[in-house]
Amino acid sequence: MATDPPPTTPTAAPAAAPEGATLALSLRDGYRFEVTFEPPGMPALLTDLGPPLGAHHGPNPERLLAAAVANCLAASLLFALRKFGHEPGTLRARATLHMVRNSQGRLRVGRIEVDLLLGVAAAALPRLDRALAQFEAFCSVTESVRAAFPVEVQVFDGDGQRVR
């Protein structure tokens, strides 16, 4: 009976996780903020609220949270696939944010749904099942926010077949 070869090391090891991160916000006008990140040289980001307060001149905080969850999941899946020597083709993610009102009538994030879309068929990734079984555990953002609300994750291969 043949056994799988041991997992390979990704070509570039992930950088050591920082103990924290520093960013700064500066009001530009209305409800639009410029966000700058450390280290210096990282591109700034403009955020804004939607009407009636803002003008949608940038993502709002809830959209940034959904983007952070989707990005972290996509990077975690990519890491897990590469650990087993697989390249997923063009990996894409789509996040849907669902807002709810709490008992005081205030808007809160109710849940986030994330679809991860591989660029190749599952058949081209013989150890896909092993990567799928572990990738979410690598995602610090998703695992952190799940304490507050559900994050639902689906993975589809390049043929559009749901594989998780």
E strands, the chain, are 23-29, 32-37, 45-47, 92-101, 107-117, 151-156
Global confidence as pTM: 0.86
pLDDT at 19: 72
pLDDT at 20: 82
- Residue 156's DSSP bridge partners are 117, 162
pLDDT at 18: 55
pLDDT at 156: 98
Look up residue 30 and give its amino acid.
G
Each residue's pLDDT, cut to its tens digit, for the chain (164 residues) gives: 445 555 554 455 455 555 788 899 999 999 999 999 988 889 999 999 999 999 999 999 999 999 999 999 999 999 999 999 999 999 999 999 999 999 999 999 999 999 999 999 999 999 999 999 999 999 999 999 999 999 999 999 999 999 99
Cα–Cα distance, 103 to 82 (Å, whole number): 44
Cα–Cα distance, 74 to 91 (Å, whole number): 7
pLDDT at 82: 97
Looking up tokens 């990140």 gives: 37
Give alpha helix (H) positions in the chain. 61-83, 128-134, 140-145
